[in-house]
Amino acid sequence: MPRITSEGNVVRAPAIITPPKALGERQLKDWLKSFLDYTYQLESPLPYLQWAGLATIAGAAQRKIFAETTAYIAYPNLYVVLVGPAGSKKSTAIRAGKRLLRQVPNINFSSDAPSVAGLVLEFGDIATKEHQSLNAFIYELSTLYENAQETMTGFLTAIYDGDDDYIKRTRTGGKEGVARPWFNLIAGTTPTWLGDNLSRSAVEGGLVARTLYIHSDEVIIKSPFPRYTPELKRLESALVHDLAHISALSGTFDFAGGDEGEAAKWYDTWYRNPKRLPRIPDNRTAGYFTRKPQHLLKVSMLVSLSKCDEFLFTIEDMQIALALLDSIESGMTKAFSSVGGNLFATDLERIATQIHGCGAEGMTYAELITSNYHQLAQRELDATLLYLCGMQRVKEGRLKDTRERVYVSVEFVKQEKPQ
């Protein structure tokens, strides 16, 4: 029987499903929900799968769908970066979405390790000049930056909004341009890579504000023999069919009921509420919160497109989109834990992850020394543990029998205090 490997690859005899030529009606009530059903055997954390699904819908929508405000035009493209330790199944989630989107006709993908010049050429190679829509489903973010980090940072920032007529001067003095750029990106990386490579210009220049960082350190173990059942095969066919359906759509989003409708009033109330901004801003993420209204419109479009062709912002869709954005914000601090001037931030995050991974039992002081002696001196370990306790991320306790020190993540302390 055909099966799906733990990395999301299908081992099977049948040929790849070809989407129907006649789009017809949608086959699924909610594409994103069905995508989560399709990937239920994969060991990727739920947030990774949710955002991989949203990026896949965006890839099908392309630059033909947008929402126009007085300040800007919001297209449904996303910059999504899945952040977690090695082995956290980031690539598995990305691969699941890419596998479906690749089966949709006339969807353009970038190369896996493009340069800025290469991307400009790939935009130029797109036959449909009405919208030069390009997708990048990249397993390791580092491959996107390996050619020229600063240049790529500026380029991605410049084309994010999809403004017409991007122009780039070449080394020889000529000019290259993209008339109608639209770039949709999902990639994976680790907090350590972000700390070592996320430049000051990326933070201050706006790329970080435009990017959604989805952090998870959850370890999920499921069946070692996931099956590609006939039901999953039919579901895959329906998912591809509806992506092809979405890819044929074009139009402009508006608020249900117009500017005086309930959806517009809800958005206006949320927008004007100063509490939507953090009380104590972090310079690394402050730009994201400033741009959150634009992110909300983008994700709301994708939530709507997942279910219907009405091109309307409803209160329900916007609340779902807001919940999705709210859910990733606590993890952004962990994603950026290594970004900044603190040389021990990477060690701090690594040790916090180790303690969290031990659940309610926590880690003894001896276990922490054994696990980290090759990277930290004992006094540095003590300082890191003091930091974590001060941040209220871990609690120090004592083992009942030996009175040895033990450290437990606060998430588990609420459920079961260390003895």
Do 264 and 366 sit in the same domain of this protein? no
CA 173, distance to chain mean position in Å, is: 37
Q: How far apart are the first and last CA of the chain?
A: 49
Encoded tokens for 293: 């209204």
Has residue 90 got a pLDDT over 90?
Answer: yes
Residue 340 domain flag: no
| Single-letter amino acid code for the residue at 298 | K
- Read off the pLDDT band of 342 (50, 70, 90): low
Encoded tokens for 256: 């249900």
Residue 418 domain flag: no
If DSSP codes are grouped into helix, strand and coil, which group holds residue 58?
helix
**Which stretch, 126-130, 133-137, 141-145, 361-365, has highest mean pLDDT?**
133-137
> Which candidate, 410, 409, 313, 284, places its Cα nearest to that of 358?
409
Interval 116-133: pLDDT, tens:
989 999 999 998 878 999
| Single-letter amino acid code for the residue at 169 | R
Q: Say how far apart CA 307 and CA 32 lie, in whole Å.
A: 8
Interval 288-313: pLDDT, tens:
999 999 999 999 999 999 999 999 99
Q: Say how far apart CA 44 and CA 175 lie, in whole Å.
A: 43
Do 164 and 126 sit in the same domain of this protein? yes
CB 108 within 8 A of CB 135: yes
Average pLDDT, the chain: 87
| Single-letter amino acid code for the residue at 184 | N
Q: What is the CATH number of the domain that holds 87?
A: 3.40.50
Buried b (16+ CB within 10 A) or exposed e, 11-34: eeeeeebebeeeeeebbbeebbeb
Q: Say how far apart CA 208 and CA 402 lie, in whole Å.
A: 47
Do 245 and 368 sit in the same domain of this protein? no
Do 122 and 213 sit in the same domain of this protein? yes
> Which candidate, 27, 36, 22, places its Cα nearest to that of 307?
27
Do 207 and 314 sit in the same domain of this protein? yes
Interval 196-221: pLDDT, tens:
777 666 676 688 899 999 999 888 99
Do 224 and 267 sit in the same domain of this protein? yes
| pLDDT score of 146 | 79
What is the number of domains present in the chain?
A: 2
Residue 367 domain flag: yes
- Over residues 344-373, mean pLDDT: 87
> Which candidate, 38, 47, 60, 349, places its Cα nearest to that of 212?
47
- Read off the pLDDT band of 350 (50, 70, 90): confident
**How many beta carbons lie within 10 A of that of residue 61, not counting itself?**
24
Q: Say how far apart CA 117 and CA 94 lie, in whole Å.
A: 25
Residue 277 domain flag: yes
Q: 20 vs 237, 242, 243, CA distance in Å?
A: 9, 10, 11
Do 350 and 326 sit in the same domain of this protein? no
| Single-letter amino acid code for the residue at 61 | A
Do 320 and 278 sit in the same domain of this protein? yes
CB 77 within 8 A of CB 184: yes
CB 157 within 8 A of CB 206: yes
DSSP 8-state class, residue 170: -
Residue 419 domain flag: no
Do 51 and 89 sit in the same domain of this protein? yes
If DSSP codes are grouped into helix, strand and coil, which group holds residue 3?
strand
Q: What is the CATH number of the domain that holds 355?
A: 1.10.10.10
Last residue of a domain, one of 300, 316, 335: 335
- Over residues 134-156, mean pLDDT: 88
Do 186 and 156 sit in the same domain of this protein? yes
Q: Say how far apart CA 27 and CA 230 lie, in whole Å.
A: 17
Which domain, by its residues, includes 388?
345-413
For residue 188, what are the β-bridge partners? Answer: 82
Of the candidate ranges 31-35, 140-144, 168-172, 254-258, the one whose mean pLDDT is the lowest: 168-172
Q: DSSP letters along 156-185, please?
A: HHHHTT--S-EEEE-TTS-EEEESSEEEEE
> Which candidate, 64, 71, 79, 185, places its Cα nearest to that of 129?
64
| pLDDT score of 189 | 94
- Over residues 161-171, mean pLDDT: 79
Do 318 and 355 sit in the same domain of this protein? no
Last residue of a domain, one of 282, 300, 335: 335
Give Cβ neighbours of residue 126 (< 8 Å, ≥ 6 apart).
108, 132, 133, 134
Q: What are phi and psi of 297, to 5 degrees?
A: -65, -40
Last residue of a domain, one of 285, 301, 335: 335
Do 290 and 351 sit in the same domain of this protein? no
Q: Say how far apart CA 251 and CA 299 lie, in whole Å.
A: 16
Residue 181 domain flag: yes
pTM higher than the cut 0.85 = no
Residue 246 domain flag: yes
